[in-house]
Structure 1
Amino acid sequence: MADYNPYKDYSYKNAYDDGMEKDIMDGYDEPYEDSGANIIDLNSILVRAFIFMVIALGVTAFVAMYVASDMNMVIRLYSGYNYIILIVVEFAMVFLTQYAVNKKNLPLAIIGFFGYSVATGIMFSVIFVVFEIGSIANAFFITAALFLLMAVYGIITKRDMDQIGDYAIMALLGIIVVSFLNMFVFKSSGLDWIVSAVTVVIFVCLTAYDTWKLKKMSALKGADKETKLVLGVYGAMELYLDFINIFLKILRFVGRARD
């Protein structure tokens, strides 16, 4: 049971690609170089993205613990086709958010993003049933430390991280393929551990890249308040996906099953 992971072999990160970024940035001037003062401003896209992300993580944790408090509910959710339905709902919420952001529809983007965080919380409920609370907390704090470290790097770095982002996305697609092959063909526990470790590295790099990208977007000229909020939701989804994927793989290493 300690090896159980409801998200063991898939990720939604590739649903958010460079094409989407290009679409939502059409109609605005290119980002300009500055001292970074506007980036730390409370109205910046970067700060809004982090605020939305933290709220979404809180929603996910609350929903997960609430559902896990009723074992019968957990059993029902993971019985029959309910599990598959939950996965479909999650994908639907991701693509709804993507569509809304591309259309600059703030209410729909918020519904999609927080709908996804609720669905993820329902999926995560089984984690609180399978693993000890202490090991879940350890995984969370390790994830938070890695995430914050790389986010800070993404904010302060002066280097162009576009190439790193491209390599990380390609590596992610490759590791997803390897994961599915291992699930159905190789069935190797050793390879599973390697995949988990590589996945952590990939999403740590993506955290730095996504933060750097949001820093650039925060310097957009001509973006009004609502557009900044929409882009904040877009950024929040990126960062949220980075965080939960790191968390799940870290939990793979430090999680201890309940007796």
Structure 2
Amino acid sequence: MAFDPYDLDRDYGAPSGVITEAQYTTRTFLWMMLGLMVTFGVALVGWMTNATLYLFSAFPAIHLVILVVTMILSFSLTARIEKMSVASAQMMFLVFSALMGVTASTWLYLYQLTSIVFIFLATALYFGALAAYGHFTNRSLAGYKSILLSGLIFLILFGVLSLFIPGMTAFDSMISLFGIAIFLGYTAYDTQRIREFYYYYSGYPDMMEKASIFSALQLYMDFINLFLYLLRFLGKQRN
């Protein structure tokens, strides 16, 4: 049974009885929240101790190293999740969250702390509302997959081009609003897919554990990206 996170169209089996859908959903969100706690905990410690400044001063290319490593971890969790153990999947998720915390620590030097706290709370509110919609709606959101993916590709391409064409920063507010819309959509979409993973892996306790980590990673990335685009749009930078 090959793991394909983008194709869950099959006849669902009966739940195994080992864990209920509510318990599975709760576990997924708890993992997501743990990842966020690790990320912002590392960010706060790095900022308060100035360890982040030292790290980036001593190793100027560290941000590229972190980017590459986090991408490898993310792809590994997707491509090899069936082959790795539950403990390995959990450890990779926590390492991923910690490395993201090093990057997140730089945001505390760029934006006012009160602004970051306010936007974090706003992100939690918007994320919670769309996650609730994705969980409780009876309407299938699968039809929005191609739209969301196209939007994500556009955001990535725009981000790459803006590195080489400074004038594109004039569209920053518009792009931020577009990014907010895309990741609000992904929040509802990925939340609905939690149920699909639950029924898809019914009867396979280990795979349910690992699929829960995979879903937590998707929701974690939705939250972080939503937070970043809100921060770009509403955040107050330090003088």
TM-score, normalisation: structure 2: 0.88
- Could you tell me which runs of 5 or more consecutive residues in structure 1 were left unpaired when the two chains were aligned: 1-18
CA contact (8 A) 2:202 2:208 kept: no
Please identify, of 57-66 and 215-224, the stretch whose mean Cα deviation from structure 2 is larger.
215-224
Please state if 1:239 is matched with 2:219: yes
Q: Deviations over 1:195-224 (max 9, x none)?
A: 111011001001000001112222346333
- Which segment drifts farther, 125-134 or 147-156? 125-134
1:29–1:221 Cα contact (<8 Å) kept: no
Residue-pair matches, total: 233
1:202 alignment counterpart: 182
Counterpart of 1:102 (choices 69, 76, 82) is 82
Corresponding position of 2:4: 20
Alignment of 1:84-233 (within 5 A): 84-103=64-83, 105-185=85-165, 187-220=167-200, 222-233=202-213
**Percent identity at matched positions?**
25
Q: Deviations over 1:149-183 (max 9, x none)?
A: 11000011111111112210111112221232233
Contact 1:48/1:232 (<8 A) preserved = yes
Deviation string for 1:86-130 (max 9, x for gaps)? 111211221232234232521221121111100000111111122
Paired residue for 1:3? none
Task: Specify every segment of 5 or more residues in structure 2 that has no aligned partner in the other structure, as ranges.
Answer: none
Displacement of 1:189 in angstroms is 2.7
Q: Does 1:57 align with 2:41?
A: no
Amino acid at match of 2:139: R
CA contact (8 A) 2:86 2:210 kept: yes
Residue 51 of structure 1 aligns with an amino acid whose one-letter code is L
The offset of 1:135, in angstroms, is: 0.3
Structure 1 residues 243 and 31 mapped into 2: Cα distance closer, same or farther (>3 Å)? farther
Alpha-carbon distance in structure 2 between the residues aligned to 1:196 and 1:73: 26
State TM-score, norm by structure 1: 0.81
Once the 2 structures are TM-superposed, how far is the Cα of residue 32 of structure 1 from its aligned partner?
A: 6.7
> Structure 1 residues 99 and 110, CA, compared in 2 at 3 Å: closer, same or farther?
farther
Distance 2:127 2:184 in 1: 7
- 1:226 shift after superposition: 2.1
Pick one of 15, 28, 46 that aligns with 1:67. 46
CA-to-aligned-CA distance 1:71-95 (integer Å, 9 cap, x gap): 2542432542122111112112212
Q: What secondary structure does 1:218 align onto?
A: helix
Sort the Cα spacing of 1:22 and 1:167 in 2 relative to 1 into closer, same or farther, 3 A.
closer
User: In structure 2, what is the Cα distance between the partners aligned to 1:229 and 1:64?
Assistant: 28
